[in-house]
Amino acid sequence: MNNYHYDLFVIGAGSGGMRAARLSAAYGAKVAIAEERYLGGTCVNVGCVPKKLLVYASRFAEEFEIAAGFGWSAKETAFRWPRLIENKNAEIGRLNGVYRKILDDNGVETLIGRATLVDDHTIRINGEDVTARYILIATGGWPRVPAFPGKEHVITSNEAFFLDELPERMIIVGGGYIAVEFAGIFHGLGVDTTLLYRGPLFLRGFDHEVRNILAEEMQKKGVKLEFNTNIERIEKNNAGFTVFLDNGETRVTGLVMYATGRRPNTSNIGLDKTNVKLNDKGAIIINNTYQSSTPSIYAIGDVTDRMNLTPVAIAEGIAFAKTVFGRHAVTVDYEYVPTCIFSQPSLGAVGLTEERARERYGEIDIYKSRFRPLKLSLTASTEKTFMKLVVDRKSGKVVGAHMIGEDAGEIIQGIAIAIKAGATKATFDTTIGIHPTAAEEFVTMRAPA
């Protein structure tokens, strides 16, 4: 190890890279981490954290309406986008400082600048070359916008967090969780919002019934959904932009946001100077210990395009450090990883969809419930909560849980523990519910659908 400047050099100070760096240092390794943009990566700066803050902000208009049913009278309400962005930026700045302190306190050397590979053990940063026994690439992903006439006029989720002002109307293109979440955010903040998706239904990979119900609930709130539709070109005009669709129609809008996927951040970081292999999407190919085709180079997180979730990247960072420096081989269990789409209403899920469960087990039982939550009983709202359990009939184990409704993520997190522990439907049935809550419905569904 003494022949190298560092035992470990991490490229990318996002959630996964930072966790790998600090834990490796705790094992006694000499560690440096390089970041060219912002500490904390996408999640902290232009992802999970600021997005959730915007979700909170966008829900208040509806909460004011609900409050009227409970006797409250909000005489005047006004929203100031610049104030929200100012406060959001201050909080993100605070978190950047917290992350820097965490690295410093753990003895990790933080280098600000673009790091590129020179060879299997050498990294160039700020004009200097340094060497490391191991290199960990944790550079994450970056928004991808397809090529088409007028591409230069669109924004991505990165820019959405820093708009000077909100438009009156906007179009969001995409069918993934980012597109769906921002459709709810901007609609909730008073923007006339249309979501375009080229496929027949958004959120591919999630339970089909759940996807349909979420689309229904979003439309109830006023979000315009246009499926099987795509943009051919965009032209700038005095009112904003004219959008030409592939069905021959046009739309005039003030802003177009593309959320059509993210690509692994592997371009121009020197991988061509090594034997690191990429797949057809540009993601680094790794084995089950996160090692690339070059033995000294590892990769974790979104840059591997396996399961692109912040907690997964953190778990991979921990597994890497324990395996390489803790000398205790650890791999991440990707079965029953819970997730939440912070749509409005939110969607939480863990385990198998009904479709996947039928493929794996053949005979399954489905339990589901759709109801108007107590909170809305004194209002004119027609929003309904939906819950669904997927059960392997032979073993009785619950292999999937899905929910649409308020606090879906908070509720599914607890359900995920039970499912990962191997809980059966009988376990759910004998668990006493907390009344009155929406969550109790998960332990009171008795008859298969």
Active-site residues, by number, are 435
E strands of 246-324, at which residues? 250-253, 256-258, 262-264, 297-299
Which backbone phi and psi does 41 adopt, to 5 degrees? 65, -160
Q: ∠314-318-49 over CA atoms, to 5°?
A: 15
- With contact defined as beta carbons under 8 Å apart, do 13 and 34 qualify? yes
Pairing of strands 339-341, 347-351: antiparallel
Across-strand partners of 171? 194, 256
At position 118, the amino acid (one-letter code) is V
Starting at the earlier edge strand, list the strands of the sheet with 339-341: 339-341, 347-351, 398-404, 385-392, 364-371
- With contact defined as beta carbons under 8 Å apart, do 177 and 341 qualify? yes
Q: ∠424-427-428 over CA atoms, to 5°?
A: 95
Separation between Cα atoms, residue 236 and residue 151, nearest integer Å: 11
